[in-house]
Amino acid sequence: MDAAAIQQELFLTIKSHIPEHVSAAEEIAGVLQVSVDSVYRRMRGEKTISLEELHALCSHYKISLDRMMNIQTGSFVFSGNIINSNSFRFDEYLTNTIRDMTYVNNFKQKEFYTVSKDIHIFHHYHFREIAAFKYYFWMKTLLHFPDFKSKKFSFKEYSDNLFQLGKKTLDLYNQTDSVEIWNLETINSTIRQIEFYHEGQMFNSDKDVLIIYEALDKLISHLEAQAALGYKFNYDDPEKKPKGPFQMYFNEVILADNTTLAILDGVKMAYVVHTVINYMITRDMRYCENLHEHVQNLMRRSTRISSVGEKERGRFFKILHDKIDRRKSNLHI
């Protein structure tokens, strides 16, 4: 592939990263700090981009030159940040998520396929009680914040600002077409986290534990209602006005890994969660096509429990509710 062909392929790839209603030339001009006319000359191949410009574009749009030039290295290129507990702020984490989901919602086609090992982070913000507990767990156990070292869980410690930011991420997720593949293990990690702190006497009373389990029970009921209707809606909306389409599958064989495949106007992106709260992103074509095939295969080998499959849906959600009821019955209230 010659330089002119690589340059043409680069701009085609960049265009696939930009929503249709946004001017690609104007956005690229902002990245390169040149005029729009100058960008058009580069896009038409009349002017060769410099190495500095190539670096700026590939860095900004997270594009792999290996893939662009068809160099077979056997590697996959991911982008992402590792959370640093010394400088981490949860409000910034949620603000960045809002930014990313706003970008996603600028596309006409926006499909999310999630293989759910755990309850999706967006679902935490249906209920303040769950959001508060998850925040405590992340800050104390995952990030080891000194302020949380000996602190017991308290609903009062969870700020309104964090919950409102979280609800914005949920609202943006609700606007996407979503497919979630669950199994019977999906709620187990949350239950184990609650029990770990219960046994470690990190709750002020069993009443607080009961409140969290009751919120988890309501979340499962809400997801069941969404699955029955085939679309997402706000929990506090009595009219259940439809948001984005929602499909749910029950897989009894494969243990999930929280990977999400996004398809934005035909372009595939993979979000790979690691160390519970960190995630990496790639648009690598080979990786994403393989993930898409894997997800489609999982769906074929799973039972659809949204819109159809009332009997299987009832059986699946009853098992989840029973898991929670058993934990509630062990509390001393």
User: Both tokens of residue 26?
Assistant: 């104007």
pTM: 0.80
Looking at every residue in the chain, the average pLDDT score rounds to 91
Closest by CA to 307, choosing from 246, 252, 250, is 246
183-227 pLDDT per residue, tens: 999 999 999 999 999 999 999 999 999 999 999 999 999 999 999
Closest by CA to 241, choosing from 174, 173, 170, is 174
**Which residues is 264 bridged to in the sheet?**
110, 267
pLDDT at 5: 79
Ordered structural domains, the chain, with CATH: 3-68 (1.10.260), 90-329 (no CATH)
The answer to whether residues 221 and 314 touch, using CB atoms and an 8 Å cutoff, is: no
pLDDT at 78: 75
pLDDT at 15: 83
